[in-house]
A and B are shown apart, each in its own frame.
Chain A
């Protein structure tokens, strides 16, 4: 078992004794708890498989009351916990704490209330993203945030990570669509944040909670906004000889006061990989631009004409519109399979999630290309171009000694360059365990200390998903100011990296 981290020692983390396990079992029943080592392995990592920690136990509650009882036990004994939906997160947000428990929401997947006239739906955290849309589709509505993993990922995880997706450009992020949360605080108390009605009196705690990556508590119900499905949807594919030309098209479309539902760019490597894996029938080219327009039919037609002209003006040598629902589906399938398809290009790869102001796109792509060739590694790019959200995929072979370290370092350097250009280290994947240090590159100590004030108000003992998000373990009430090494660090018993 991995050794306890120094801050955990400082936190006086409790030990999960047999007696405490019996308490958990009393809450969830014998079928609701996992302690067998081989079964626990399923929960030792999320989508970021490079990092693994075996949890001490996994509990699978069926109701809000059971979640509350579990967290009360955790609070009483200072047992760290992390909530888990489908485990598709890409930043290690659902990675268990050593000696801690995982609260799986697999059994809390009911849709609790549907209110079509007011365009709201209330669900349990284990409900799968696409199931929300499926439930309201017959009334002409959909749930807008669409992370690539939407057919398996859960709303609870989406709330924790403030999940995005290709259609954020027009419709906003998870936070845009969350009206109310029922939360169990790390103390075990139950609170309502927000309400189905907008502008709940008081601080906007819903806004703070969404995207807090499980560090402020656990949700047990979520009220979401649903959106009227547009009258018409059209998807355009345009092929270019350079990414810069595709990028310029994106800027020109925005400046022409058109707000597409999505604008995506893929480079040659990604196109080839997607083509080989799901055959979306993309034209072979150096840069593919995908534009989705939706809205009233007459408006979409006029805007699409304008966009095709902008594409041609920027050198697109082919532009075609998907002619059927089936073609549209296939085009998106290719795009959403891009991460998985990278497995065809190299044995291993790192997916990154930087954001830059849209106009910096050509500059950063140049820089990424240069940094990649310096290391001798290949980087392929797919991105939500409308938002300036890049997903550089660093390809490598872990079997070659030293190459993994080079790949990790390259991917972090790319994020640093995004920050240098006024951007962010993450647009939708979250900080998690993966980018803790990079967060320290983006924000200064006072900024992080201020976030920590919120953390400590919600979770003074830091048992909710500890050692995530913040660059280095820091304790409530700890003196702020310049970096001071921890005593164990000074003694050479631990190091931060």
Chain B
């Protein structure tokens, strides 16, 4: 069957599944917006039969992450947008993958709860896309990553199998934690259609402090001291701006206690001859602004907390800006050459870290991202078992998976 006839016949079938009104063409590529998990399953089953590649699409905020690919079908999750259940007494919720992050949070906030994660672009990014890319933010220090917050998932595999994993309770060791495998898999193992989260209470009293210095080293030492202290730190990040370095600390505790805690922080800062000032809550959004530097590479780098100040100094030496959470995850915009960036990657890998390129400037030479040490063959084997025909976002993931 010629290619065009094959695609036409596929489009007809997909239209029959989700309704022709939910079919579209974007830049010459067929797209569909299924209404529910069952339709996703039917579409994938049909695509798998004809080896038609499929790229899931949520809010489109991170489609440039990973390797570029040319799918034959774009599968939108826009119609899978409901908050299905918020059992606030049990502090869990079940949400469809296409739900925009901030929409979900505003529903949960009615009962003073939230999914304790602050991902990039919450007003546009969807729950499914955030899970597929395993994004996290400054709250990770206190509440953990998505791996700790997702307790159940519904996933559709390439052959149309609908699989549920985990459940609706936080404590559960029955079977493999497939939702951990799906988190951060960039849609290469299946399409996430529904997620169950554990929730936390929104802290009622938070306060941000900032400590600034022309030198990064004392701030790095202070960061380590805060980590080793009894202060109720909710978020902690080290920033390199064009003019100076800043350490931002957000405390979350009771109003009666916050004064004491602030004094402890002042005491720690005095230990490195620095002073504490009240900070703006906006400092926690600066990470996102680094992506506005489209003329520079934007990278994610990982490192041990004790290496944060050293790597921050390297970024500054390259003329870059960075925000690094105390968990050891840095976002940086680096106006450097591809060779310089490759050297930075090697520097990170030598200290157990990694570098992943999230954005390259127009016409810039591509820079390879870090790969896992020796588990890539195993990852390929898993991909092969889940998606033997290779239709799920083929090539998007590291190592060309």
Partners in one complex: yes
A204 touches B184 (CB 8 A): yes
A96 within 8 A of B: no
Least CB distance, B400 to chain A, in whole angstroms: 12
Q: Which of B25-33, B96-104, B255-263, B333-341 contacts A (4 or more CB under 8 A)?
A: B255-263
Is A299 on the interface with B (CB-CB < 8 A)? yes
Judged by a CB distance under 8 angstroms, whether A296 is at the interface is: yes
Instruction: Name, among A203, A355, A439, A448, the residue most crowded by chain B CB atoms within 10 Å (CB to CB).
Output: A203
User: Smallest CB–CB gap between A411 and chain B, Å?
Assistant: 15
Pairwise interchain contact A207-B147, C-beta atoms closer than 8 A: yes
Answer yes or no: A133 CB below 8 A from chain B CBs: no
Residue B242, interface by CB 8 Å: no
- Cα A282 to Cα B193 in complex, Å, equals 49
Which residues from chain B contact A199 at a C-beta distance below 8 Å? 134, 145, 184, 300, 302, 329, 354
Contacting residues, chain B, for A5 (C-beta < 8 A) = none
Q: Which of A102-110, A251-259, A344-352 makes up part of the contact surface?
A: A251-259
User: At the interface, yes or no: A126 with Cβ under 8 Å from chain B?
Assistant: no
B147: contacting residue among A204, A298, A303, A387, CB under 8 A: A204
Q: Interface extent on B, as a size class?
A: 35 or more
**Pair B374/A191 contact, Cβ less than 8 Å:** yes
Query: Is B254 close to A, CB under 8 A?
Result: yes
Q: Which B133-186 residues sit within 8 Å CB-CB of chain A?
A: 134, 144-145, 147-148, 155, 157, 161-165, 167-178, 180-181, 183-185
Q: Which residues of A contact B302 (CB under 8 A)?
A: 197-200
In Å, the complex CA distance between A202 and B177 comes to 16
Q: Is the CB of A451 within 8 A of B173?
A: no
CB distance from B139 to the nearest CB of A (A): 14
A117 and B224: CB pair below 8 A?
yes
**Known interface pairs A195-B352, A389-B171, A426-B173. Does A298 touch B89 (Cβ–Cβ under 8 Å)?**
no
Nearest residue (CB) in B for A470 is B175
| Across-interface contacts of B306 in A (CB, < 8 A) | 117-118
Kindly provide the distance from the CB of B383 to the nearest chain A CB, expressed in whole angstroms: 8
Are A298 and B164 in contact, with the CB atoms below 8 A?
no
Q: Are B89 and A423 in contact (CB under 8 A)?
A: no
Verify if B1 is at the interface (C-beta below 8 Å from A). Answer: no
Bound complex: CA of A298 vs CA of B231, how far in Å?
11
Task: Verify A298–B176 contact, CB threshold 8 A.
Answer: no
Verify A447–B165 contact, CB threshold 8 A: yes
- Tell whether A458 is near chain B: CB-to-CB under 8 Å: yes
Do the beta carbons of A197 and B328 come within 8 Å of each other? yes
B375 in the interface, Cβ–Cβ < 8 Å? yes
**What is the bound-complex CA distance between A384 and B224, given in angstroms?**
34
Question: Which residues of chain B from 353 to 401 have a CB within 8 Å of any chain A CB?
Answer: 353-354, 356, 369-376, 378-379, 381-382, 384-386, 397-399
What CA separation (Å) do A61 and B231 show in the bound complex? 44
CA distance A168 to B102 in the complex (A): 29
Residues of B within 8 A of A449 (CB): 161, 163
- Known contacts A424-B171, A430-B173, A456 near B385 by CB under 8 Å: yes
Taking CB atoms and an 8 Å cut-off, the chain A residues in 210-239 that contact chain B are 210-212, 228, 230-231
Asked whether B256 lies within 8 Å of A176 as measured between CB atoms, the reply is no
Give Cα A451 to B177, complex, Å. Answer: 9
CA distance A302 to B381 in the complex (A): 53
Tell me if B36 counts as interface (CB < 8 A to partner A): no
Is A48 part of the contact surface with B, judged by Cβ < 8 Å? no
Query: In the complex, A117 Cα to B68 Cα: how many Å?
Result: 39
Flag whether A161 is at the interface (Cβ < 8 A): yes
B112 interface hit (Cβ, 8 Å): yes
What residues on B are CB-neighbors of A240 within 8 Å?
A: none
Most buried by B among A117, A172, A199, A204: A199
- Bound Cα distance A255, B202 (Å): 11
The reply on A271 being an interface residue by CB < 8 A is no
Residue A20 CB within 8 A of the other chain: no
B397 to chain A, nearest CB (A): 8
Q: Give the shortest distance, in Å, between B344 (CB) and chain A (any CB).
A: 15
Name the one of B162, B257, B305 contacting A446, with C-beta atoms under 8 angstroms.
B162
In the complex, what residues of A have CB within 8 A of residue B397's CB? 202
Per-position binary interface string of chain A over residues 327-352, scored 1 when its CB falls under 8 Å from any chain B CB and 0 otherwise: 00000000000000000000000000
**Cα-based distance from A443 to B165 in the complex (angstroms):** 8
Given A355-B169, A425-B174: A118 and B164 within 8 A (CB)? no
Known contacts A196-B352, A450-B157; is-contact A201 B369 (Cβ 8 Å) = yes
Interface digits, A312-329 against B, CB 8 Å rule (1 contact, 0 not)? 000000000000000000
Asked if B16 is at the interface (CB within 8 A of a chain A CB), the reply is no
A251 to B89, CA, bound (A): 7
Q: Identify B253's interface contact among A176, A210, A296, CB under 8 A.
A: A296
Residue numbers in A under 8 Å from B92 (CB-CB): 357
Which residue of A is nearest B167, CB measured?
A424
Interface membership of A466, Cβ < 8 A? no
* Shortest distance between the CB of A419 and any CB in chain B (Å): 9
Known: A302-B254, A359-B87, A444-B164. A200 touches B354 (CB 8 A): yes
B172, B176, B257: the one contacting A302 at CB < 8 Å is B257
Near A by CB (< 8 A), chain B positions 79-118 give 87, 89-92, 112
A387 — which chain B residues lie within 8 A by C-beta?
Answer: 169-171
Residues from 410 to 429 in A contacting B, C-beta threshold 8 Å: 422-429
Interface presence of A53 (CB below 8 A): no
B261 touches A388 (CB 8 A): no
**In the complex, B246 has a CB within 8 A of chain A:** no
Given contacts A442-B174, A450-B165, whether A359 and B90 have CB atoms under 8 Å apart is yes
Chain A residues near B189 (CB-CB < 8 A):
203
- A439 touching B90, Cβ below 8 Å: no
The answer to whether A161 and B375 touch across the interface, beta carbons within 8 angstroms, is no
Cα distance A38–B338 when bound, in Å? 66
Whether A208 and B379, one on each chain, are in contact in the complex, defined by CB atoms closer than 8 angstroms, is no
Contact B171 A388 (CB under 8 A): yes
The answer on a CB contact under 8 Å between B375 and A191 is yes
**A357 pairs with B168, CB closer than 8 A:** yes
A454 beta carbon closer than 8 Å to chain B: yes
A202/B173 in contact, CB under 8 A = no
- Smallest Cβ-Cβ distance to B225: which chain A residue: A117
Interface string of B204-223 (1 = CB under 8 A from A): 10000000000000000000
How far, in angstroms, from A210 to B147 measured CA to CA in the complex? 12
Assess whether B176 is in contact with A451, with CB atoms less than 8 Å apart: yes
Q: Do A204 and B180 form a contact, CB below 8 Å, given A176-B144, A447-B163, A454-B385?
A: yes
Q: Is A164 an interface residue (CB 8 A)?
A: yes
Per the bound structure, the CA–CA distance linking A434 and B391 in Å amounts to 38
Find out whether the CB atom of A162 lies under 8 angstroms from the CB atom of B181: no
The closest CB in chain B to the CB of A176 belongs to B148
Return the chain A residue nearest B228 by Cβ.
Answer: A228
Q: How far is the CB of A259 from chain B (nearest CB, A)?
A: 8
A453 interfacial contact with B, CB 8 Å: yes
> Are B175 and A451 within 8 A (Cβ)?
yes
Chain B residue at minimal CB-CB distance from A119: B227
Does A185 lie at the interface of the complex (its beta carbon under 8 Å from any beta carbon of B)?
yes
The 5 residue pairs across chains A and B that have the minimum distance between CB atoms:
A207-B180, A257-B201, A450-B163, A424-B172, A427-B171
Between-chain CB contacts (< 8 Å), 11 pairs: A117-B305, A176-B148, A190-B374, A191-B378, A197-B303, A203-B189, A259-B200, A302-B257, A431-B173, A453-B385, A457-B382
Q: A195-B352, A425-B174 are in contact. List 17 more A-B contacts (CB 8 A).
A: A118-B304, A192-B372, A197-B302, A197-B328, A197-B354, A199-B302, A204-B134, A211-B176, A228-B227, A388-B171, A423-B172, A427-B173, A430-B173, A443-B175, A449-B163, A454-B178, A469-B175
User: Which residues of chain A have a CB within 8 Å of any CB of chain B?
Assistant: 115, 117-119, 140, 161-162, 164, 168, 172-173, 175-176, 185, 190-193, 195-205, 207-208, 210-212, 228, 230-231, 251, 254-255, 257, 259, 295-296, 298-299, 302-303, 355-359, 384, 387-389, 422-431, 435, 439, 442-444, 446-451, 453-458, 469
